[in-house]
Amino acid sequence: MTTRKSWQSIHDELRRRIVDGIWQPGDLIPAEEQLAAEFQCARATVNRALRGLADSGLLNRRRRVGSRVATEPSRYATLKIDIIRLEVEQRGAKYRHALTERAQVLAPERVQYRMNLNDDTELLYICNLHMADDRPIIYEERWLNPVVLHGIFDVDFSAISVNEWLVRNVMFTRGDISFCATNLTEREAQLFAADLGEAAFVIERTTWQDEQCITSVRLLHEPGFSMRTELI
Amino acid sequence: MTTRKSWQSIHDELRRRIVDGIWQPGDLIPAEEQLAAEFQCARATVNRALRGLADSGLLNRRRRVGSRVATEPSRYATLKIDIIRLEVEQRGAKYRHALTERAQVLAPERVQYRMNLNDDTELLYICNLHMADDRPIIYEERWLNPVVLHGIFDVDFSAISVNEWLVRNVMFTRGDISFCATNLTEREAQLFAADLGEAAFVIERTTWQDEQCITSVRLLHEPGFSMRTELI
DNA sequence: AAGTGGTCTAGACCACACC
DNA sequence: GTGTGGTCTAGACCACTTC
């Protein structure tokens, strides 16, 4: 055995060959066996490195065929979904939230559709204004399904935020999230001390436990908000 | 040896124990060695399963300490960044784009800042309107760095889109992306046959090759656009 | 049939964090 | 020191795809 190679160093070297154009898009690269011989390591180590490159979209791998440099490399942006309180506190600001609404209601039709509910299930409807250093930053409008969330009607959501209660009490198995832009209504503009019609960033998130919908939430961000992340 | 276990089946079983609350948030789960004994498999197989759970944010793992069920499970939304033409064609629509502007200019200050450039580098400035079934869906405004992109001034971007030319000719090593909402200016509203001030979704993306900025782009989406993905 | 990636095994050593 | 996860090895078999 010569010096021990790490899968990371092999990953980086192969990545370099792709980025520098030594292996062009569409090219078939050497098989794992050959690379293992070149790098003087076990095939499993090369496999680990190649899997990483395939995960990040730089390679397409197929059995019997080999690993090909992607012709149209897929790139991904990964967004971390945090509890709002943590996001605020990590920025060094003081977090506070105010419960602005609480009711037991039938959801509007488009929410029923999103949550895949019958039209006779009464939901808990909760609205919250989230603040950083006492400045409103997010208006949260949320529908909760009592069929899944037993005892939800008895929880005191002025003491604990809905978000945190959910995180501690149920775990979702799947969810979807969508992003869009909207013009502030008059009422929404007042919340942010902004102008009617200003553009605001909206996140809508719906989460499920197996086939049952847990909750659907709409997060209206203050005008000027921008969400940033790294590309992979 | 009993029946052969796959890392996937172990992953799913452990995930079930977490989701069903058999292992509560904060709990220390058995060490790899013990799980390997339970599942009658090699430790490497358990390791692979646990690594998957840690990657998806359900576990926090530390050497010497063990694997702990995350108290505030991080959830991630992963967005696939495709070439616009592919996105349109995958929806079954006809793709077309029109070059609306092309100039050799100094970038505005905020773009220079974003691209980390001196204030004397002339960039190639290109604007494109992307259409699906002849309806404008994205207005693209882009600055390209000729220092990295040799010969960029000679390319005919009415024949090939900037996006595709870039993908085929350079590969970026890192990038950042941000999302926000904006009110359409009068000129922008005209492009989309929309009203002045309507809210539109904006993506800004800047990509780099090592320390040099390749390009920065602003994608203004048609009013009503919504970007959706699954939560992990 | 044959070649490629995907995975598993059993064992080993290392890196790290807590003692 | 000691116990945990992180990784590597050498070999093996399997799964898939093309021939």
Q: Is the CB of A7 under 7 A from strand D?
A: yes
Q: Is the pLDDT of residue B88 over 70?
A: yes
pLDDT tier, B1 (very low <50, low <70, confident <90, very high otherwise)? very low
Q: Is the pLDDT of residue B4 over 70?
A: no
Q: Across chain B, how many H-helices and E-strands are there?
A: 7, 11
Choice among A170-174, B72-76, B90-94 with the minimum mean pLDDT: B72-76
Choice among B3-17, B53-67, B169-183, B189-203 with the minimum mean pLDDT: B3-17
Q: Is the CB of B63 under 7 A from strand C?
A: yes
Angle, helix A43-55 to helix A7-19, in steps of 10 degrees:
50
Domains of chain B: 7-69 (1.10.10.10), 79-231 (3.40.1410.10)
Q: Is the pLDDT of residue B112 over 90?
A: yes
pLDDT tier, B211 (very low <50, low <70, confident <90, very high otherwise)? confident
- Full-model pTM: 0.86
Chain B, residues 149-168, CB within 8 A of chain A, namely: 167-168
Instruction: Give the CA-trace dihedral at B185, B188, B192, B196, to 10 degrees.
Output: 10
Give me the pLDDT at residue A48, please: 94
Residue % of chain B over a pLDDT of 90: 68
Reported as a single tens digit per residue, the pLDDT across A60-83 is 999 999 999 998 777 888 888 888
Q: How far apart are CA A133 and CA A82, in angstroms?
A: 18
Residue % of chain B over a pLDDT of 70: 98
Buried b (16+ CB within 10 A) or exposed e, A34-43: ebbeebebee
Q: Which of A75, A79, A12, A23 is nearest to B208 (CA)?
A: A75
Reported as a single tens digit per residue, the pLDDT across A114-167 is 999 987 889 999 999 999 999 999 999 999 999 999 889 999 988 888 988 888
Chain A's closest residue to B163, CA to CA, is: A72
Compute how many other C-beta atoms are within 10 angstroms of the C-beta atom of residue B224: 14
Give chain A positions within 8 Å (CB) of B74.
80-82
Compute how many other C-beta atoms are within 10 angstroms of the C-beta atom of residue B54: 14
Three-class DSSP labels, A117-184: CCCCCEEEEEEEEEEECCEEEEEEEEEECCCCCCCHHHCCCCCCCHHHHHHHHCCCCEEEEEEEEEEC
Q: Is the CB of A44 under 7 A from strand D?
A: yes
- Two structure tokens written together for A47: 């496999």
